[in-house]
Chain A
Amino acid sequence: MSTSKWDVTFLVYRKKGQGTPHYDEFTIKVNPDEYVLDAIERIWAYQDRSLVFAHACHHSTCGACGMRVNGVEKLTCITLIRDVTADGGKVKVDPLRNFPIISDLTVDMGVLYTRMDEVGHRPVLPLSEEPAEPGVKPVKIAAEGDIIRLADCIECGLCISACPIANTTSGYLGPAVLAGALQHGLDSDQHLFSLVEGENGVWRCHSAFECTEVCPSYVEPAGKIMELRKQVIWKRIFGIAK
């Protein structure tokens, strides 16, 4: 870690109850190798105790601390300050889009959670139960190589915030939910199939791939939506998804 400190000004979105939203400025000394969440926590601890923000695990396993940093969706607990500004620079911090704001930087992600339950997504699975890719045998940890697992979705909401379709239609299931639906595959459940192929399902996606761009958990929701489209067509033609 670097020992030289930077002066950084944080422009923080503020909103209380029915009050008018505005931005507050906080200038603090930071180590550039600290995370944006560290700076926000310190602003709360030493400058303004009224600041409301969500966080829990501080290492990208819970998904609570998603925000927009300089307009881009980030999991703030693993976003290095050095990657978003420079010494003497500014960092603008906003709550996620496409969710109701509770206060300041905290949003209500209830809809996302409810929909994840509706598609039966399971967030914590042993490696033996979820293969790396659909149809692939259960994973053994190899000395080399990466794995992609849908259980890795931490429901942080970054993909929903970044999605241009979620921004125009609150009914759209959204990237995390559709990716979550793939965990079971479409053959498992008729309700799931209707949801996925329905008007708020896979065909609403415009393939912007913003979701994959911002996903901090390597779930690659856009690719999963494309895979689901394939499954929907197979199921329509041959009666089974695979």
Chain B
Amino acid sequence: MKPPRPPAPRLDDLKPELKRIERRLFLRGGLSLGALSLLTGCDLSTDSGIDRALWAMLRFNDRVQAALFEPNRLAPTYPASAITRPFRFNAYYPEWQVRTVGTDAWRLEVGGLVDDKKPWSLAELRQLPQEEQITRHVCVEGWSQIGQWSGVPLHIFLRRIGADLRAKYVAFRCFDDYSSSIDMASALHPQTILTLDFEQKPLDPPWGAPLRLRIPTKLGFKNPKHIAAMTVTNDYPGGYWENQGYNWYSGL
């Protein structure tokens, strides 16, 4: 037997309910549109609560990435045939503004938590053990290219100058007014090198002459060129891009 057909509700009965739903939707829509227009203004440069939250998330991401970092895991290496040519120039200024320095007069200053603060000449650096690598340089912008670098492994240099290897940071100051800093664990990674050569020739000015850092476990902007001074420290040093909002750790 068919059940009796229920009386169809009339539209009038539903109207108050529909009104309530409509009002709720309108409020929600207004809120989210307003919120979106507020959010799109958040670019890490303001003092708004959302920008502060974004900075806090960046610090949280630093800790997550440090935990993910495996000290003995090597960045993939490539055959010489994979090297990108021509290699792309990149800095915070155009190529014609590249600064140069007399290589004889140049010294690497060393400071902070180290035993031996004697400055280093290029010739002295060349006498230390050298290491070569063909690795992928990944830019924060998303593009990448494969290059060949060689120089002194940073862990060898840090031990040679009697650095406090329990310190938190190694900071670099460059004579083109650039700066950057890395965590000690990454500084001690076997592929992190104080680079003297690019494609087996002494660095040319566009590639960071006379000394740059090559660290294939981090994004390109963490590979400072034209290094003038290195400091081992426990005080967060920041860096040129890092201070403007690029994620400090930026590990790969």
- Please determine whether chains A and B interact with each other in the same assembly: no
Name B residues whose Cβ lies closer than 8 Å to a Cβ of A: none
